[in-house]
Amino acid sequence: MAGTQAWILGGIFVYIAVVLGVGWWASRRIKTDRDFIVAGGRLGWMLSIGTIFATWFGAETCMGSSQTAFGKGFLGVIADPFGAGLCLILSGLFFARYFRERKYETIVDFFQDRYGRSAAWVLSLLYIPVYLDTALCRLLEARRRRKRPSRAYRRDRGKW
Give the per-residue pLDDT at 64: 66
Q: Which residue has the higher pLDDT, 98 or 134?
A: 98
Q: What is the pTM of this model?
A: 0.50
3-state class of 8 per DSSP?
A: helix
C-alpha to C-alpha distance for 65 and 82, rounded to whole angstroms: 10
pLDDT band at 62 (very low <50, low <70, confident <90, very high): low
Q: Which amino acid is at 25?
A: W
Check pLDDT > 90 for residue 66.
no
Check pLDDT > 80 for residue 40.
no
C-alpha to C-alpha distance for 80 and 84, rounded to whole angstroms: 6
Q: Average pLDDT of 6-21?
A: 93
pLDDT band at 117 (very low <50, low <70, confident <90, very high): very high
C-alpha to C-alpha distance for 32 and 43, rounded to whole angstroms: 15
Check pLDDT > 70 for residue 15.
yes
Strands (E), 33-120: none
C-alpha to C-alpha distance for 137 and 75, rounded to whole angstroms: 22
Residue 28 CA to its chain's centroid (Å): 25
pLDDT band at 14 (very low <50, low <70, confident <90, very high): very high
Q: Rounded mean pLDDT of the chain?
A: 78
User: Which of 82-86, 121-125, 142-146 tops mean pLDDT?
Assistant: 121-125
Q: Count the helices and strands in the chain (H runs, E runs).
A: 8, 0
Whether the CA torsion 99, 46, 75, 157 is positive or negative: it is negative
Q: Which residue has the higher pLDDT, 3 or 10?
A: 10
Give the per-residue pLDDT at 137: 73
Residue 110 CA to its chain's centroid (Å): 22
